[in-house]
Amino acid sequence: MHYMKWIYPRRLRNQMILMAILMVIVPTLTIGYIVETEGRSAVLSEKEKKLSAVVNLLNQALGDRYDLYIDLPREERIRALNAELAPITENITHAFPGIGAGYYNKMLDAIITYAPSALYQNNVGVTIAADHPGREVMRTNTPLVYSGRQVRGDILNSMLPIERNGEILGYIWANELTEDIRRQAWKMDVRIIIVLTAGLLISLLLIVLFSRRLSANIDIITDGLSTLAQNIPTRLPQLPGEMGQISQSVNNLAQALRETRTLNDLIIENAADGGHCH
């Protein structure tokens, strides 16, 4: 506990400043943490909803086009389906900057489109890895949102199975780079930090100003008390609030001491005069 004595200030003013700072900082940081955590969750939720909307738009736009070019060899059919579907994925992703999206064909076991094609056209015809979450989507016929490293890199990926007449034909995906999501979340964090810092600085400034005023009143009282023992007639000014009650009590005490001292002086003088008479 000795280190606590070293940290804890001795002067009342500094004690009050320390307590006020703790009372401001602890709840402010707690609120900041909650807001930041909830804010990040809100950003992720908003991203997931947007990606889900994109895959549903792509699913509606696909229709029965996976039934086309059924007699073509694999490579030719991939190129033909890409020519048919690429404009759809391009148009939809164009409305959502930063999002990549496309179609995967289960029978051909290949990526059919990947928009924006200017960035990801070289992925067309690629077969996904055996442990790719897209395979789980096709196997379980269940939509999935997955965050991790995939074909595009570190992404948040929303995947939807393509089901027609009870058969799984592949899956659709829409994703956004995790770095873009982090960047957006960081912008939100910076705004929160700025607001919290400004609030803390204003609070600390007010604490210091009020404590200085209180300390000045305390100094007036302590100075007044120190003069009582020096026989210096002093009357403290009227102070506001509880300090005023203390200053009034000190003034009353000083007055009582002066009256007692005067009475003692009279007694001593009378005693001295009586001694001279004899």
What lies within 8 Å, CB to CB, of 239 at 6+ separation is: 217, 220, 221, 246, 247
**pLDDT tens profile 169-197:** 999 999 998 887 778 788 888 888 888 88
Judge whether residue 201 has pLDDT over 80.
yes
Q: What pLDDT is attached to residue 54?
A: 96
Q: What pLDDT is attached to residue 7?
A: 63
CATH code given to domain 28-178: 3.30.450.20
Rounded to an integer, what distance in angstroms lies between the CA atom of residue 161 and that of residue 103? 10
Q: Which residue has the higher pLDDT, 263 or 183?
A: 183
User: Residue range 257-265: average pLDDT?
Assistant: 70
Identify which of 190, 151, 200 has the alpha carbon closest to the alpha carbon of residue 20: 200
Burial class (CB in 10 A: 0-12, 13-18, 19+), 221: middle
Q: What pLDDT is attached to residue 182?
A: 79
Average pLDDT along the chain: 83
Q: Is 176 within 8 Å of 47 (Cβ atoms)?
A: yes
pLDDT band at 43 (very low <50, low <70, confident <90, very high): confident
Q: Which two tokens stand for residue 11?
A: 């002067």
Q: What pLDDT is attached to residue 145?
A: 92
| CATH code 3.30.450.20 region(s) in the chain | 28-178
pLDDT band at 162 (very low <50, low <70, confident <90, very high): very high
Q: Which residue has the higher pLDDT, 69 or 207?
A: 69
E-assigned strand segments in 34-186: 99-105, 110-115, 144-149, 154-164, 167-177
Judge whether residue 164 has pLDDT over 70.
yes
**pLDDT tens profile 72-116:** 999 999 999 999 999 999 999 999 998 999 999 999 999 999 999
**pLDDT tens profile 52-63:** 999 999 999 999
Identify which of 246, 173, 261 has the alpha carbon closest to the alpha carbon of residue 214: 246
Rounded to an integer, what distance in angstroms lies between the CA atom of residue 168 and that of residue 140? 9
